[in-house]
Amino acid sequence: MKISKEIMSYCRFCNKHTKHVVRTYNKKPQRGLSLGTRRHNRAIRGYVGSIEPKIHPKKLGKKQKVMVECAQCKKTSERVVGMRTKKKIEIGR
């Protein structure tokens, strides 16, 4: 799946369409005090090891994300490109 280096997109900080620079998505580390982490810690309290996980249906591929940076205000935001796919994103052209 190919995506161009520069795209015109809506910026929620500038409140209008501006030119955006596309970058690869880097996953941020998990926050230790987020609600999900605290809930999990509460659930495994008193046990040794992990709790039995819920069985989720298998999804076909992942949604591909990119980071877009506004050329005017230099703020970045996430953006999902396309639907669920097994292909990886190529940024170029």
- Contact positions vs Zn ion (CB under 5 A): 11, 13-14, 70, 72-73
Give the residue with the Cβ less far from Zn ion, 66 or 70.
70
Query: What are the Cα distances from residue 40, in Å, to 5, 57, 60, 88, 93?
Result: 39, 21, 26, 31, 44
Cβ 72 to Zn ion shortest distance, Å: 5
Sheet of strand 6-11: strand arrangement: 6-11, 16-24, 62-70, 76-85
Cβ 82 to Zn ion shortest distance, Å: 23
Cβ 71 to Zn ion shortest distance, Å: 8
| CB 69, CB 20: distance < 8 Å | yes
